[in-house]
Homo-oligomer: A and B are copies of this chain.
């Protein structure tokens, strides 16, 4: 098959969990990577080495362990800056996850009555509810791009939606439900044209596309560590340096201050301004290692692999009678998450039968209820691949789906 990673066997050996067997001796077929990715040994080992040999608090500690820990943590910031092609390391703020990064923006960007925020109907709940709450607090209006029947953004109304009162245009790069890849540079330009901030949710893009914030031309971009082979507990907010320094502080606490008296305080500049308290140190170090791992394999190669697997999966899925894929059908126009419906079997029941054969997929609304509602479905089943996914695993999925139909006697 064209486009697969050449050393797929070797890459799979990097991921210890892929050797696991499940109940009944079934080997693990992990097709839930859009939910969270598996972790390569090198990321785990880097974290262990830090905890066993270098653990100390950062910045505040002046001893040797403190210096080592600080260097490792700040080194991770350099790695993430390189991963995003950020003009400055000061633009990389470590957060807990993508959700916190989005909420940080929704809490600190000033909004008021008369302003509006534009999102899209295919956002993850994190990029919806954060802005709903911000609009409720401030009296700003929430607007959104609708979707076309084939699962793309409906831009026909764009000039009316994004207007001179728009303060923020926030959108996902790759949909976690539909797989759609959005025209992020165009959307960022549209925001810029009216003087609004553009916020790109790259949670599903960062794992599988080369991200270059300068090329996208956006103001802010977020992603989450656990989907790019890093640990949980770490996310990234990238923002243009001058914009970050204009925002008011988010949380108050250690490390984000310049000076503190009982009556008032002054604050550090970005990135520390937004990193109150002891940050997720070992998690940032794990993430730094993870993005280096991905860069070493090459994001372009990973993207090609994802596209090859996705094309193969789309083909295989369509061989299952009664199966409907939600979202674009052209693999080159989409990411590696494929949601689908199967006539006569509820997603929970599909996932359950698949699981009994070791095939792990997600069933539900995937934190994208509005996108499901748009297509008139309550929930769906989603398979999602990653750099360690093999065509044989897709075969196992397709076979398990045929089995599901017969288990639930759908044809009778």
Contact = CB atoms under 8 A, between A and B. Distances in A.
Interface of A: 16-17, 20, 22-23, 28, 30, 32, 35-36, 38-39, 41, 44, 47-48, 51-57, 60-66, 96-100, 102-103, 106-107, 121, 124-126, 128-133, 142, 144, 224, 226, 231-234, 249, 251-257, 259-265, 276-283, 348, 351-352, 354-355, 359-364, 366-367, 369-370, 373
A290 B46 CA distance: 20
Number of this chain's copies in the assembly equals 2
Contact of A252 (B66, B106, B226, B370): B106
The A interface is mostly helix, strand or loop, or mixed, namely mixed
A103 B360 contact: no
A23 B231 CA distance: 31
Given A39-B51, A96-B233, A130 B252 contact: yes
Contacts of A107: 107
Contacts of A131: 252
A97 B277 contact: yes
A347 to B, nearest CB: 9
Given A32-B56, A51-B44, A63-B361, A96 B99 contact: no
A62 B125 contact: no
Contact of A60 (B102, B106, B262, B367): B367
Given A132-B252, A262-B370, 9 more contacts: A32-B57, A32-B65, A35-B56, A99-B276, A126-B252, A129-B252, A224-B277, A226-B281, A231-B233
A131 B51 CA distance: 33
Sorted from nearest, which 9 A-B pairs have the closest CB atoms?
A99-B277, A129-B252, A233-B280, A233-B233, A126-B253, A99-B253, A63-B360, A103-B251, A254-B367
A177 to B, nearest CB: 12
Contact of A96 (B96, B125, B257, B354): B96
